[in-house]
Chain A
Amino acid sequence: AQSVTQLDSHVSVSEGTPVLLRCNYSSSYSPSLFWYVQHPNKGLQLLLKYTSAATLVKGINGFEAEFKKSETSFHLTKPSAHMSDAAEYFCVVRGGGATNKLIFGTGTLLAVQP
C-alpha cells in the first residue's frame, strides 16, 4: 500500500533562510509524488510533481524536491523563505489502482518569521 509520512507537523524559519520540509514515502512500485501548498482558507495548489523522470524536480515559487529511492524520501526545499511561503504543505502519493486516489500526508505548517 502507498503511504507518506511528513516528519514535522510544524516548521518555523526566518525570512531569507532555507526551508526544508521532510517527507518519506512507502510504495510497492515506482511512485508518483506531489507537493501541494494550502494557504489559509484557500484550495490546494500544486507546487511540483515527480513521475519517474528527473529525480530533482523544480516547482513554482522557487521550490524544488529531490526523489531519493535509497532513502524513500521526497523532501521539499527552498533556498530562501519569503513571508508569503507561510502555509500548510502536503506531501502526497498517488495510490494504486484505477481511481487516481491521492494519499495525503498529515501536513506541515510552515511559519516564516520576519
Chain B
Amino acid sequence: DAMVIQNPRYQVTQFGKPVTLSCSQTLNHNVMYWYQQKSSQAPKLLFHYYDKDFNNEADTPDNFQSRRPNTSFCFLDIRSPGLGDAAMYLCATSRATPSYYYEQYFGPGTRLTVT
C-alpha cells in the first residue's frame, strides 16, 4: 500500500542535543509538509517543500530546519531542542500542480520527548 512512513515513532533526546526525524513516502507526491502538534492542540505547519523549493512558515523558529534529498524522503532537524519542543511531529504529503493542491495524507507521527 502507498503510504507515508515516519521513523522513529518515539524519540527521546536531551535538552540541547540535535535530533533528526525522518519521513518517507511511496505516494510519489511532490509536496511534503512538517507539522508540530502539542498535546490537545491542532497541528501547526512548520514548513513544506514543493518539489525542491523550501517554504518556511513565518513563525517557525530558526531552531527547526529541514532537508529533502529526493522526492521520497524529507527530514526534520531540531538543532538545539528545548523542553518546549516536546510534541508529536507529523509529516504529510500531497500531489500538486501549479494551479491546484490535492488533499494531504499524514504519516503516523513521531512523538518527541526532551529530557
Contact = CB atoms under 8 A, between A and B. Distances in A.
B94 interface: yes
Contact of B106 (A45, A49, A105): A45
Interface stretch (B62-70, B72-80, B97-105): B97-105
Contacts of B92: 44
A99 B106 contact: no
B36 to A, nearest CB: 12
Contacts, number: 47
Q: Interface of chain B, helix or strand or loop or mixed?
A: strand
A78 B88 CA distance: 28
Interface in B19-60: 31, 40-43, 45, 48, 55
Given A43-B107, A44-B106, A104 B42 contact: yes
A46 B103 contact: yes
A32 to B, nearest CB: 8
Interface of B: 4, 6, 31, 40-43, 45, 48, 55, 88, 90, 92, 94, 96, 101, 103-109, 111
25 contacts: A34-B103, A36-B106, A41-B88, A41-B109, A41-B111, A43-B6, A43-B90, A43-B107, A43-B108, A45-B106, A46-B103, A46-B105, A90-B42, A99-B55, A100-B31, A100-B101, A101-B45, A102-B43, A102-B45, A102-B104, A104-B42, A105-B42, A106-B41, A106-B42, A107-B41
